[in-house]
Amino acid sequence: MRFTLKTCFCLLSLLLIAGGPAAATDLTIISKVTNDKGTDTSTTYITETRFRMVGAEADIIFEIDTGRMIQVDHKKKKYFVTSLEELNAQMAQLTKMFDENPMLGKMMGDLTADAQVRKLTDTRTIAGYECVHYVLDLGKNISVDLWVAPDLKPPVSYHDARKLLYAQMGPMAKQFEKMIDEFKKMEGFSLASTTETKFMGREMVVKEEAQEVKKGPIPAATFEPPAGYKQGKSPFRQ
């Protein structure tokens, strides 16, 4: 799979709207998401071993226990299954590409910046949960304004699984890994955020806010590709 700006932004618009689940309860989060394409509704389904992020054009299904990822393309009515090994190989390939092209690295900005987190004093209620205000910065490239609900606590495995999803972003993955590590330190689940990113001369702002939080068992079929969709070759397969 070629690394493109569109690949980067599409992944961000799905991954940065997700928080983490309560450790023993399945969660369904319905959110309003606004980006450069407009405003839409996104639903995230989370269990201890699976999660699915549903977007307008594409879904991502991830198996936390196996590392297997399923990408669903609603326009093409296809799905693509990617193994953990393929994700790791993609990250190695992109890292090599950046190492061999210093100019590309400069276009991406400072990829070595440390994450800086500030906990503010204001609070607000979102979808029935009181939330604490945080601001997270990664150098000049990424800034995230977060509202975190302490009563919804994520298991560590969920955050680690999200790191694997960033593998397809090559060297940028290391910055997002730093961001996920900071998410682990925040006690709770992000129910609203504004994420500003600057890469390759482009800026993107993604805003999300949970409209409803549902607790209760999620059917196993939720984490399967839609009926009638055909399986295609994984874009990460060599």
3-class state of residue 167 by DSSP: helix
Q: Say which residue, 135 or 197, is predicted with more confidence.
A: 135
> pTM, whole model, 2 decimals?
0.76
Is residue 23 in a domain? yes
Residue 164 has pLDDT above 90, yes or no: no
- Which domain CATH number covers 118? 2.50.20.10
* Dihedral class, residue 92 (left if φ above 0, else alpha if ψ from -120 to 50, else beta): alpha
Range of the domain at 57: 5-232
For residues 122 and 133, give the distance between their C-alpha atoms in angstroms, rounded to a whole number: 6
Is residue 220 in a domain? yes
For residues 21 and 109, give the distance between their C-alpha atoms in angstroms, rounded to a whole number: 32
Is residue 120 in a domain? yes
For residues 158 and 117, give the distance between their C-alpha atoms in angstroms, rounded to a whole number: 20
pLDDT at residue 191, as a whole number: 94
Which secondary structure element, helix H or strand E, spans residue 57, and what is its range?
none
Q: Say which residue, 40 or 158, is predicted with more confidence.
A: 40
Residue 48 has pLDDT above 80, yes or no: yes
Is residue 143 in a domain? yes
Is residue 130 in a domain? yes
Is residue 238 in a domain? no
Q: How many CA within 13 A on the CB side of residue 165?
A: 29
pLDDT band at 55 (very low <50, low <70, confident <90, very high): confident
Which of 57-71, 87-101, 160-174 has the highest mean predicted lDDT (pLDDT)?
Answer: 57-71
pLDDT band at 238 (very low <50, low <70, confident <90, very high): low
3-class state of residue 70 by DSSP: strand
pLDDT band at 91 (very low <50, low <70, confident <90, very high): low
Is residue 237 in a domain? no
Domain count, the chain: 1
Is residue 208 in a domain? yes
- Indicate the residue type of 198: K
Token couple for 233: 């070759």
